Structure 1
Amino acid sequence: MLYSLFDNYKRKRNLAKLKDNGFSYLFDKDESGEYVVFDTETTGLNPKEDEILSIGAVKIKDNKILTSQTFEVYVKNSKKISSKSIEIHKIRPCDLENARNSKDAVKEFLEFIGSRPLIGYYLEFDVSMINKYVKPILGITLPNEMIEVSEIYFNQKITLIPQGNIDLRFDTILKNCSLPNMGSHNAVNDAIMTAMIYLKLTQNKGK
């Protein structure tokens, strides 16, 4: 992973804010050769006000999705889940009866990702939601390299239709990559489908 001088400066400043040295591994150079694709289900789309309901993730290594190494955790929330959000993620209050508290859930997620690069669809939102919990606990924000699949898709499409309107909706990207829609909308399934998109786009780059 290559960092610019400015990126190195930001990482050093971020590391200096770390409250618990037990998590310093997040800043280590990743030598696993793995990537983590992750997704969150939330009470809404405002990181300042909304909360995480679940986190799902899967690892990629050697251009393969390691479906045997998935991560899923449900998170206790303090806000009422709106009927509108339940229609999207299908997570009901009864589904969260045995959920983990947010501190434990986020720490488990950090242990799963380590210092691996993170991949996602509209990753900025999911990272903002994770950072909302990480910063009060550890004093830092996620230092991992971030890879956005919609950006890869856009950059490939714009060379073919430079004046075109590129549809970046998740279902559209799946369809145009000739990938199956797994149907059930939850964090783990979304992470696996995003991993499929990433591999399709990077393995067929330029085609």
Structure 2
Amino acid sequence: MSHAPAAPSRTAVLLVDDHQMVIEGLKTLLKADAAVRVVAQASSGLEALRRLREHPGIEVALVDLNMPQMSGVELTRHIRAAFPAVRVLALSMFHDHASVMEVLAAGGAGYLLKNTTKAELSAAIANVAAGRTHFSQEVGQTLLQHLDVPDQRPNAAPVAELTAREREILRLVAEENTNQDIARALFISERTVETHRKNILTKTSCKSVIGLIQYAIKHKLLA
């Protein structure tokens, strides 16, 4: 007896924005995406946390940064603390350096502008759901423009000493390449790439790719 192939899993998404028109617009953009399923929506941070409790299968929360009572950055912190498996994708009209770094520090996995296209929105959700990061092009340019800002605190910890190969791999990781992509680009094995990644995390005392990107930007390791 033959069995029909199982339908591919769809990424469960929560939409959070205090403007209903924005939510409806996002739902329209995602409606044709067979890989995404919008399972809940919320108009405030508190409502978003309730929705996450009600729908434990949510994988990605698309969060507006500019909301009353609880900002998107505050909500991101709460989500990462209470629902660590949920990946947060920030959505904003602005991409100033301070805002982007706040999102990263809060544990956000990506940052999109509200003028994003349907294709980029789908790609961003797929990337963060897979454990990668995603930044709109303008956001990435904002981060790159601040790579030359040194840490001027008198008691700042010394910068990790990375080898040339480790710096190369760090750059490729920051560009959202997978281990397979990096191995192919550098003509080395995936196991070697994984070993280098672990060494980089150990040397920098970072616990995640997001933390590593923050560290790299802060200490100009991507230059």
Instruction: Return the structure number with greater relative CO, CA threshold 8 A, min gap 6.
Output: 1
The structure having more radius of gyration, on CA atoms, is 2
TM bucket by the smaller chain?
under 0.3
Please give the TM-score of this superposition, normalised by the length of structure 2: 0.26
